[in-house]
Structure 1
Amino acid sequence: MQFTSRNVDDVESTWQQYVPSAALQKVDPQRFRFDWRSADLGSATLVRYDLAAQVHSTAEPRDQLLVCRVDSADAHVWSDGQTLDARLPWLTDGTQVQAQWHRSARVRAFVFDREAAQERARQFTGDDGIELRALGLAPRSAAAAAQWERMFHYLDAALGDETGDDRLLLSEFERHALMMTLSTFPTTLAESMRRPPQRSGAPMTVRRALSYIDENAHLPITVDDVAGASFISTRGLQYAFRRALDITPTDALRRARLDGARRDLQNGEGASVRAIARRWGFSHPSRFTAAYREAYGEAPSLTSDPARRVTPGEDSVRP
């Protein structure tokens, strides 16, 4: 969703669709301008908006994880008397956070459904008892915050109009956004990560995982889904794959999707290489081409158009 408005009520009503507790105070309607963009990833939403006005806002999310960055030259962010560094993102799972600026700001945020995020954290760690909670509002370090910012900019750019209903991409983007957020801020996930991974039944587990990947690579599954279908934690599955095959489950899933893209290219369905790549979860054309060339020894364009191949005795370059 993307729109521009000069109606003050549009801000609150739109923002409250994602964070019901969000509220604005002291908005100057004379200088008001609101440019909104959001993208639905399933159980998470990416939000970016520019708001030109004098604003005092509050957020106290319920049943959500909200990570937010207010980018403004005169921003002030605080919570219960604690001043937060306005140059960094902050995370809350219910603690009220307030922000204020006098001229304009760009707000960047991810809103995660807390129950879905907790289920993913349990699957990843293999700890069914973990209660996912934020243990602090501020990021672990400035470097971790910068990494989160790079992730946000990447996904914001990738989630353009072309993404459409690319379910494979969206599921990977959602997982990436959540895991990056949970690694940026102090949460109960970090404590579970310090425990040894589950390491049961590697050979049978790996065979079950490979079978699940082969049957479902065309669907928006993630490595967490593969682990769940194999009755093991994500970390345990990673260990099992390394021990048995010296690859990761992610490598196996990527190769299955490359195989799927290769079949579509060979079938000559008329779709472009870029469209087929996105259908199989590859958002970056040059990275897809590099991975495809490494796997099959030729560019995807040659698979889709065999006539472009150079036969012996022909010039090495064709027009």
Structure 2
Amino acid sequence: MVSRNETDLSSTASGATGPTLPTGVPPRASRRVVGQDLDEALTFFGDGYDLRAPRVRRVRPTTPWTFGGVGDGRLSLVSSRFGVDLRSESRVDDAFLVAWMSSGASTITYGGDEVELRAGVPVVLPFADVYQLHHHDIALNLVHLDRDHVRAVVGDDEFAFEALRRPTAEGLRTWQETVRLHSPRWLDVSNDLGPLEQRDIAEAFVRAAIAAFPERSRWRAVVTGTGPEHERLRKALEFVHDHAREPIGTPEIAATAGLSPRGLQQSLRRNLGQTPGDVLRAARLDGARTDLLRGAPDGTTVAQVARTWGFGHLGRFSASYRARFGELPSESLRTG
């Protein structure tokens, strides 16, 4: 990966069979490919990043392209350049890709949103779903984080990052410091890293990504499809998730999504088979369960948690809780 201080990649392999670095854990392996042939470049990048029906326009007489990377089965640091105007769909299922430009222009379209990448500002690309990209004479840095390794570090088999959300200022500093600290040693394959150091560097990148980028909301993930209705519904669910402790109801949820109350009801019924009340109740029950599992039995009461999440009748709260989670709130509190 060429970072902002232009770290060079080693060149130990060549040939255009796709930008896939070796799987399996140690040792690290490096690869660098340089070319001018447009068809060769499309085959190379298309295989590795599942480019679907790419449309390409030359921006200069020649078509310079490069790929360089060092990785193992958990972490790969990659840089590439493709001197064309490229429009395509793409999808990656086995890794979380953190991307930032060094030069050029790039727009990613996903879930009804269009996001322009900014030089030096990393984002996580969409995961396990199709998105549209438009690259123009781009030099791009990528960090590949193996999906299963990230989920093992997090301890959640369904963990995913929220796509295309820029990091906070503090998160960006954490990410850049990790890149600055660990990239030179990782990229220098003449350094024979021991298994423990290699693992520690991979985990450092995972933890930096967790600190920098938000987790994908499970509420957004339950809505399939990429049309305007689906994105409005995701906004409604995200609002519920973020404001479930507050005295909100159907009118507030609908307004956030740009829908009428009746339109929200119809959309929820059509896509999820639920009512706004069902969604809000589930969010509050989930929040209550989190508080109960984290609470100390000698300092937290079921009644306190129920009131916090808007449940005024303790008996009905306990019955709803048991129906959703298969145990009473008091049992969750004791085992938390």
More helix, by proportion: 1
